[in-house]
Structure 1
Amino acid sequence: MVVVKDENVALNDVVKVAHGKDVLELHNGHQYVEKIKTNALFLQEQIKKNIPVYGTTTGFGDSCREFVGESFAKTLQQNLIRYHQCGTGEPFSDQQAIAIMAARLISLAKGHSGIRYELLQNLQQLISKRVIPYIPQQGSVGASGDLTPLAYIAAVMEGSGRVIENGKVVPAQEVLRNRNITPMELFPKEGLAIINGTSVMTGVLALSLYKIRRLCSIAEKLTAICIQVLSGKREAFDKRIHNVKPFRGQIYTARRIDNDLEGSTFLTDYRQEAAQNLKENRKQLLPFAIQNVYSLRCAPQIIGVVRDSLAIAEKWTEIELNSVTDNPLIFHEEETILLGGNFYGGYIAQAADSMKIAVSHLADLADKQMALLVDEKLSQMLPANLVRSNSGINHGFKGMQITVSALTAEVLRNTTAASIFSRVTENNNQDKVSMGTIAARDLDHIATLIAKILAIQSLAAAQAIDIRGQHGISSNSLDFYRQIRNVSPVLEDDRPMDFEINAVADFLLAGYEDG
């Protein structure tokens, strides 16, 4: 159980909740509840004193000079939610919607947003009963936070929005009634508190980083299999090499690949080959290679960079997750309301943009390794395109290798940083924006493409094992091979592979167990 209060929540806990593997509860201890109530009460007292409070008794953004007073404060919140429901594009997935709501709850639960405890309860109910707001993906510039997409969550909390139920978009009111959730009337500032924050980009990025961690593990598995079926060499993964370049990710990846090579009889050693084949001490062309090509030999120096970049991105995302990101902030203990810019998604934008570049190397690496497997000039006597029978009639992995190249090109094209495309918006008030949500969405798209690339490479690696024979493959690699074969059988004769590619990609992201 993940308990939300004014303390930090682990990033991985949000991922578990989003995937339905854990439940999220709101702390109901007396001291905590009183803290939230006192914070909201202080704000309400300031409103009654006729003191302008941004976005509460004034207009929003460039309209902040418009003072409306207490009498229109609730109407102001309702209109805020209405005019920001202008998003476009496909909706976020069920898991993304849950992660987004969890991120918003965690931020608001810190107790500096001037909202009632009842609002936190309402949001927690949506999460625990898995009510999925319809949230279009497009429309956020990442400052002032994720205004447009979060407005769709606020609308559901009011009972006026739409939700996704059994794959269909339906009115929220009916679903709330069926789940025994009472719609809320938003009090002054509560609409702004819900939508003025970085929770969309944070939730989306959290799930993408989880995907990338899995993709790194799979890339290591596939590298080890490629080395074996291509009669490669283990030497490059000796820990002594990596201990003198002590990046944590590189050392970790080298150890994992080395462990997966343990026990394989398909590996070669150039020293033994020299002893057998090099009889004269004269200039001559060696009948063997003394080391692997870069896409095999340098895998720790490639995947390790992704892992170390991932660790930084996860750290930043967890800090953002546990931050208060709306405006203004209420510090009731000091009897102070402060205006600032914590809604600016710069850290998430930078983390996502950096990870787009880092993780793209997994695609490029897989593309190179795939080329080695299917090219009979490079594959150490594996048949062209990994065709098992009727060569010339069957074409095996020829089409799938082209797809890998196409997907890799699409990955690389999408690595351009979103954060550099800041635009002037909202009457020159939001004159520098983060584009963090676009960056996070880009990364999610890239991770999904890479899962499909690695799915095709997994099928090719399994096919190579079927051709070489299982007897010489390490036990760790055989375990991975069997899991793939449980999803997709060997390719004997040409057949459509599109559905199997998607099935393997889904398996790698969700079902694969890394022994």
Structure 2
Amino acid sequence: MAADTGDFPSFTFGEAQLDTAILDDLASQRVQPRLSTNPDVLAVINNSAKHVTDLLKNDGKIYGVTTGYGDSVVRAVPPELVAELPLHLSRFHGCGMGRFLTPEETRATLAVRLVTLVRGWSGVSMDLVELLANMLRLDILPCIPSEGSVGASGDLTPLSYIAGALAGERDVLHKGEIKLSREAFAQEGLQEIILQPKEALAIMNGTAVMSALAGIALEQSKRLMAAATRLTSMCSLSILGNTRHFDARLFNAKPHQGQMLVAQRIREDLAPMQENHEAVRMQDRYSTRCAPHVIGVLQDAMPMLESVLNTEINSSNDNPLFDPETGDVLHGGHFYGGHVCMVADTLKTQVANLADLMDRQLATLVDTRYSNGLPSNLSGATGERAPINHGFKAVQIGVSAWTAEACKLTMPASVFSRSTECHNQDKVSMGTIAARDALRVNELTAQVAAAHMMAATQAIELRLKSGDLTELMVGPRVLAQVEKVRALAPFITEDQPMDVILRDVTAKLLTGELSVSF
């Protein structure tokens, strides 16, 4: 691969473990991909390809190389047709539907598959590995439909679009244009490859799409968790709430570590308020008082979810595998995405709970019965202009709709296993569907968080204007958050459309551009 350009940090495939944070950075091009030039790494890849060649020379039987695929494993492929079989696999799986993966999701998918192939268990050539690495480096992105995978035998149909692109046959996005991959390769001085006997199967028969999507969803979930935590602080301030709900002694009495951390962050946000304010109510409503107990569930689950997903990303998850030392063919089921599905199903349930929490907090802010003196719907209009202005009334309705849709998507995908492919794939993971659901739940929850962030910022500024709060009481951490929001969204005095602003704030919350720091 050519030398890196620019000042971006790099990640070297074949020399380091890929975790979800680096995967997210690769997907967003904050990290530059490189392929190892270490002779030991390259030797393992070359030896893996040699194992396949040697087996074929010795008339060895290899699933998907000298046999048909799936239930057609009982069908022997004549030696003179073995070379054609990989291209047929990529072609007959070209039946994907639905939206195309975004550039970020596609880069993540390429990265995850590359990690697997450089481990040397998959029987692919150096030519394939180098071309795949160059596609990632040069941003030659296969157009991958998101629908059509049941999550075992891996992501066959979506990954066929990568295999076909490597062979020069599929569309890619390159320099802002859709074109055939062979055209993009030619423009970059590259050449498509002829897929060798195991290579289409090695590309396609794994968990790269679901793992990539789940990895992005996990990193987004961290940002949404942080946003929900900060918004709880902002809501408590806005309703002149009881800061002692977050007392350290309370949480030492029920010491879930994640829950304790969430309470600590809120407590530190509210420390200036506690020193200068007496609460209006002895006990605030559950959406404020119990927020650490809601957010803390995801915070406590996150290390385990991250560990499971990182293990999957750094695994050899195709079939068959070749022992790098002996060349023995190992037929198994590592393409099964059950662990990824568990991560995604867990994420979408817990993130939807964040949406529900934030929805209830916002409902408290806009309702004069519960907001302890804030204007109706947080309208900034006063005097004779007040009757015709409705502030965040419709936004709160939208938040309720987005929350309902997020909650609707939390049904576990794994329990909807279908028997497919002549009952060969008779128990499948549904991991890719779960991962797509998780991304959609994140998007809806980010919309809720964006609306709440704008509303809570408005509420705090209304309190500052009325004198109910001072900047000393709000404190530097929350004031810094208010300033970040105000750089994107105005104070609402006269009614105005907010959709463009909401979209911008939503996108920036998901990517971390609108940061929430503790």
1:428 partner SS: coil
Alpha-carbon deviations, 1:3-36, whole Å to 9, x = none? 1116532221111111111111111211221121
State the match for 1:201 in structure 2. 210
Aligned to 2:95: 86
Alignment of 1:433-472 (within 5 A): 433-469=428-464, 471=471, 472=473
Structure 1 residue aligned with 2:426: 431
Structure 1 contact 81–154 (Cα < 8 Å) conserved: yes
Q: Measure how far apart 1:268 and its partner are.
A: 3.9
Q: How many Å separate the matches in 1 of 2:423 and 2:212?
A: 28
Matches within 5 A, 1:492-503: 492-503=493-504
Q: Deviations over 1:432-462 (max 9, x none)?
A: 1100000000000000111110000011011
Matched-pair contact (CA < 8 Å) for 2:243–2:273: no
Q: 1:227–1:267: 8 Å Cα contact kept in structure 2?
A: no
1:243 to 244, 252, 255: 252
Counterpart contact for 2:273–2:474, Cα < 8 Å? yes
> 2:185, 2:48 → 1: CA distance?
28
Q: Does 1:33 align with 2:34?
A: no
Aligned equivalent of 2:132, options 91, 98, 123: 123
Asked if the contact 2:223/2:516 (under 8 Å) is kept, the reply is no
Matches within 5 A, 1:86-485: 86-165=95-174, 168-264=177-273, 268-269=277-278, 288-389=280-381, 390-469=385-464, 471=471, 472-485=473-486
| Contact 1:214-1:509 at 8 Å conserved across structures | yes
Residues 230, 129 of structure 1: alpha-carbon distance in 2 compared, 3 angstrom cutoff: same
CA RMSD in angstroms, aligned pairs only: 1.4
Structure 1 residue 267: Cα displacement: 6.5
CA distance, structure 2, for counterparts of residue 467 and residue 269 of structure 1: 19
Would the aligned equivalents of 1:100 and 1:199 in 2 still touch at CA under 8 Å?
yes
Aligned residue identity for 2:426: D
Report SS of the residue matched to 2:98.
strand
Q: Could you tell me whether the CA contact under 8 Å between 1:126 and 1:132 is conserved in 2?
A: yes
* Alpha-carbon offset, residue 266 of structure 1: 9.3
Task: Tell me the residue number matched to 1:507.
Answer: 508
Post-superposition offset of 1:194: 0.3
Query: Deviation of residue 164 (structure 1)?
Result: 2.1
Letter in 1 for 2:109: I
How many residue pairs are counted as aligned between the two chains? 498
TM-score by length of 1: 0.94
Secondary structure in structure 1 of the residue aligned to 2:388: coil
Contact kept in structure 2, 1:89 and 1:136, CA below 8 Å: yes
Residues 165 and 5 of structure 1: CA distance in aligned 2, closer, same or farther (over 3 Å): closer
Structure 1 CA distance, aligned partners of 2:437 and 2:150?
13
Question: What residue identity is the alignment partner of 1:483?
Answer: K
- State TM-score, norm by structure 2: 0.94
Aligned counterparts of 2:189 and 2:247: Cα–Cα separation in 1: 60
CA distance, structure 2, for counterparts of residue 508 and residue 351 of structure 1:
21
How far did 1:218 drift? 0.7
Task: Please list the CA deviations of residues 443-499 of structure 1 after superposition, one character each: whole Å capped at 9, or x if unmatched.
Answer: 000001111100000110111122111634221111111111100111111111111
Q: Residue type matched to 2:338 in 1?
A: G
Q: 1:266 to 1:296 in 2, by over 3 A?
A: farther
SS at match of 1:90: strand
Question: Structure 1 residues 266 and 6, CA, compared in 2 at 3 Å: closer, same or farther?
Answer: closer
Helix, strand or coil: the match of 1:263? helix
The equivalent residue for 1:72 is 81
The answer to whether the Cα contact below 8 Å between 1:376 and 1:383 also exists between their aligned partners in 2 is yes
Q: CA deviation at 1:269?
A: 3.3
| Aligned-partner Cα distance in 2 for 1:246–1:322 | 33
Contact 2:380 2:491 in 1 (8 A): no
- Could you tell me how far apart the structure 2 residues matched to 1:267 and 1:184 are? 70
Q: Distance in 1 between matches of 2:20 and 2:454?
A: 32
The alpha carbon displacement at 1:166 in A equals: 5.4
Instruction: Please give the secondary structure, in 1, of the residue aligned with 2:34.
Output: strand
Name the SS of the counterpart of 2:71 in structure 1: helix
Cα deviation for residue 116 of structure 1 reads 1.1
1:200–1:487 distance in 2 versus 1, CA, 3 Å: same
CA distance in 2, matches of 1:91, 1:303: 32
**2-structure distance, mates of 1:90, 1:203:** 16
Q: Distance in 2 between matches of 1:332 and 1:174?
A: 35
Task: For residues 337-389 of structure 1, give each alpha carbon's deviation from its aligned partner in whole angstroms, at most 9, with x where no partner exists.
Answer: 01000000000011111111111110000011001100001101001101121
Give the Cα separation in 2 of the matches to 1:290 and 1:213: 31
CA shift for structure 1 position 226: 0.7
**Contact 2:44–2:324 (8 Å) recurs in 1:** no
* Secondary structure of 1:262 counterpart: helix
Q: 1:24 is matched with which residue: 16, 29, 33? A: 33
Aligned amino acid, residue 419 of structure 1: S
4+ residue runs over 6 A deviation: none
Residues in 2 aligned to 1:89 and 1:78: alpha-carbon distance in whole angstroms: 23
Counterpart of 2:201, as a letter, is L
Structure 1 CA distance for aligned equivalents of residues 516 and 499 of structure 2: 25
Distance in 2, matches of 1:293 and 1:121, equals 58
Amino acid at match of 2:216: L
Question: 1:513, 1:363 → 2: CA distance?
Answer: 18
Q: Shift of the alpha carbon at 1:298?
A: 1.0
Unaligned runs of 5+ in 2: 1-9, 465-469
SS at match of 2:273: coil
Tell me the distance in 2 between the aligned counterparts of 1:7 and 1:397. Answer: 48
| Pairwise CA distance, 1:330 | 0.4
CA contact under 8 A between 1:249 and 1:308: conserved in structure 2? Answer: yes
